[in-house]
Amino acid sequence: LMKPVSDTYLVRAVLIRCFRARQLFQLMNRDSLTGLLKHSLIKQEVEKELARCRRDGHAASAVMVDLDHFKKINDTYGHRCGDVVIKALANTLRNRLRETDMIGRYGGEEFLVVLPHCDTEAARRLFTEIAEAFGQLTFNCNQETFGVTLSAGVAAINDHSVGDDAVDAADQALYQRKRAGRNGVTVAGDE
């Protein structure tokens, strides 16, 4: 009943299964366009960071980021061009943030970022720099060149009892920024 299997075959079979498991994990947890965490996973990361804040007593920030006038980009230049802009923002965030920061695609053109050990003022400064850098990028679609700006809302994760409340506060700060003229950063609680 036992079939002899060579060591080489056994090791190869295990490696292939491990590779497939990693691929499946990526497909389940990563956004296919950007490679960032999916909505549900980034929300879990907010909850985990809130627990770390309570345990260790450090500050952390949640930042909701949204591309300004993105519907106009899709309508004017097409969805393929919109995808290029979304990927560019994902790459900008990946390149400008620390490895310990968590970035997720929250939905459409919205992104959620978790910044451990970062108070809201430091998060505001960081995302002001990111917004300025991203605003300097140019995109070429349909033989036209254009730029895109972003808006961001920042909230202190450690000021909330539930992670969803921190996300909601960051989202409200984002929409406060949009009402104030877009292309910038607003911290929750700022007047």
Q: Which of 45, 47, 109, 110 is catalytic?
A: 109
Contacts of 35 (CB under 8 A, 6+ apart): 90
pTM of the model: 0.85
Residue 110 appears among annotated catalytic residues: no
The pLDDT tens digits of the residues spanning 72-115 come to: 999 999 999 999 999 999 999 999 999 999 999 998 899 999 99
Please say whether the beta carbons of 130 and 92 come within 8 A.
Answer: yes
31-187: CATH architecture: 2-Layer Sandwich (3.30)
Segments making up each domain of the chain, as ranges: 31-187
Through-space distance between the first and last CA atoms of the chain, rounded to whole angstroms? 76
The pLDDT tens digits of the residues spanning 122-174 come to: 999 999 999 999 999 999 988 999 999 999 999 999 999 999 999 999 999 99
| Dist. CA 60–CA 114, nearest whole Å | 7
**DSSP at 44:** H
Q: How many DSSP H helices and E strands does the chain contain?
A: 6, 7
